Each structure stands twice: as structure tokens, then as C-alpha cells.
Amino acid sequence: MRGNASRDVYDKIRSDILSLQLMPGEEISINRVAEEMGVSRSPVRDALIRLSLESLVDIYPQRGCWVSLIDLERVDEERFLRHSLEKSVLSYFIEYSKPSDIQRLEYIISKQKEDAEADDKNAFFSSDDEMHMSIFQTARKERSWNIIARETGHYRRMRLLSFQMKGVYEKNIAQHEELVGALKEKNIQKALQIEGEHIFKLTFETGEIIRTNPLFFKEERKNEIE
């Protein structure tokens, strides 16, 4: 029972961190979480230890627990991980995909347009993940996507913050449409070019994101970019 409770608490806190319901630097009260989820303190502590191993929370003995600030060095490395896996998977998608797989991607883009129209950042972000996950699934590399989902928490939060910026919805949708077009044409070189532009566009948005949210970032790298 404790294992199930710990997993439920872990899933809830992790989801709240990655969706920015819990902001970088925000304190997490073990007592409050235990009360809200109807569990004892032990599974909450277990969940927080697990999250600390993923660098999503910082635990200070005798002081408390806080959501980790975004580490720009980790953002860089996590982006590298995603780019390395995603560019490698595109050729497999082209090899294995059927017309129905392309139609699935086109449907997801239509959902993104609806999410953008409603200015629903979390729904748009979920559709964005669904788009890329579908590419990995069709390419028969779903475990590789699971690695990305598990290991890129800092990059993920940075991506979500980027949706505060003007024009990000439109740019994201346009790049997805271009990528799907290239995959439909089985043009691997064009697909690789678009994927690189899509992944690394965040590099050019970093300065503005930090200026808008300065307290969310580790000081040592924040000063280098500003």
C-alpha cells in the first residue's frame, strides 16, 4: 500500500512541477501534501527523495524541500539528448509509417490549432508532446521517447515558459506542419533540417524567458546569458 501511495504522490508532484503548477523555487510542504492526498508523511518523503534524484526538487535536511530552479546547463544537455534521439528516429518513421500515421500527425496539429485559439498552454503543450511521441511510436522506438519524457524535466519547463512569448504558438504549428509535410514526402534531409530548427529555436528565446522570469533560474548560468 505504501508503494502505491508513494507512486501516486510522486506522479502528482512531478506532474505539478512539469506543468508549472508548482513553480521553480516554490516550497513543498510535506504536511500539506500528505493532508491533501490523504496519506501519511512517509510516502510523501519517499516521493520527494525520488524526485530529488531527478533533480526536480532540492531537499535540505532540517530546513525543507523546494522545487528545483531551472538549471540552464541541464537544459542544454537535455535538449542535446532529445535532439540526438529525435533526429535518429525520423528515418525509422519514414521506413515504417503508413498513410494513417501521417493522418494521425495532421489530426494532432488540428488539435494544437484549437488549443492555441483557446490560449490553453497546457493543452497545447500536451498536444506538442503527443505529436513527437507519435513519431517515436510509429518508428518503433517508444522506449527512447520514455527516456526523453523521464530525463528532460528542466528542458520541459523551459519549453513551457516559452509559450509566454508572442508568436510561439504560430511558429510551433508552422514547424510541425513543415515537418509532417517532409515526412509525408519521405524527404529525410528536409525533415532533419526542420527538426533541428524546431528543437533549437528555444536557444534564441532563452534570454527573453530569463528576463521575464528571473527568479526561476540558477544564478550562476543566468548571469552568463543576461
Range of the domain at 171: 72-225
Residues of the chain with pLDDT under 50: 1
Q: How far apart are CA 65 and CA 220, in angstroms?
A: 21
Instruction: Please check whether residues 114 and 189 belong to one and the same domain.
Output: yes
Chain segment 21-61, per-residue pLDDT in tens: 999 999 999 999 999 999 999 999 999 999 999 999 999 98
Q: What was the pLDDT predicted at 1? A: 47
What tens digit of pLDDT does each residue of 82-107 get? 999 999 999 999 999 999 999 999 99
**What does the DSSP assignment read for 7-63?**
HHHHHHHHHHHHTTSS-TT-EE-HHHHHHHHT--HHHHHHHHHHHHHTTSEEEETTT
Predicted local distance difference test score (pLDDT) of residue 203? 79
Q: Are residues 25 and 100 in the same domain?
A: no
Quote the pLDDT of residue 200. Answer: 85
Find residue 23's DSSP bridge partners.
none
Domains in the chain, number: 2
Are 20 and 103 in the same domain?
A: no
Confidence (pLDDT) at 132: 96
- Judge contact between 99 and 183, C-beta under 8 A: no
Measured CA to CA in angstroms, residue 176 lies from 8, 89, 127, 148, 199 at distances of 33, 16, 11, 19, 11
